[in-house]
């Protein structure tokens, strides 16, 4: 009986300690870590960095301009940076930071921020 309990609690603590390692970063966490300094805490393009930037970051809450972008374009610009779509290179490439799956999740998160979808 006692041994069983020790075993169970060992298993439980193994799970608790390994869970953070296994957990996938969510798009919200990634956005809040990597994007807000330029795109702003609310995604509205008002990040801390903008004072010194010659090209201002996209307002991701802007329904009209974000609707005009296809999901593929958003994916490409995140993966390869602004230069990939003839936009400012001040938008950095994230292809070596995120997997394609994480980038797709970020695109979905952008659709939440703009309350829009491709084409309206």
Binding site for ligand HEC (CB under 6 A): 34-35, 37-39, 49, 53, 55, 57-58, 69, 73-74, 77-78, 82, 87-88, 90-92, 94, 106, 110
| Cβ closest to ligand HEC, residue 13 vs residue 28 | 28
- Shortest distance (Å) from residue 116 CB to ligand HEC: 12
Q: Could you tell me how far CA 106 lies from the centroid of its own chain?
A: 4
| Cβ closest to ligand HEC, residue 9 vs residue 28 | 28
- Shortest distance (Å) from residue 70 CB to ligand HEC: 9
Burial tier of 31 (Cβ tally within 10 Å: 0-12, 13-18, 19+) = buried
Residue 50: name the closest of 75, 31, 59, 116 by CA: 59
| Cβ closest to ligand HEC, residue 4 vs residue 86 | 86
d(CA 109, CA 31): 8
């Amino acid at each position: 009986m006692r041994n069983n309990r020790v075993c169970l609690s060992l298993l439980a603590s193994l799970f608790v300690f390994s869970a953070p390692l296994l957990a996938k970063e969510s798009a919200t966490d990634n956005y809040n870590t990597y994007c807000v300094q330029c795109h702003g805490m609310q995604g509205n393009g008002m990040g801390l960095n903008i004072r010194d930037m010659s090209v201002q970051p996209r307002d991701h809450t802007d329904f009209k301009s974000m609707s005009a972008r296809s999901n593929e374009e958003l994916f490409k610009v995140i993966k390869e940076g602004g230069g990939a779509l003839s936009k400012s290179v001040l938008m950095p490439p994230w292809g070596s930071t995120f997997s394609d799956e994480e980038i797709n999740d970020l695109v979905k998160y952008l659709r939440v921020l703009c309350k829009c979808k491709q084409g309206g």
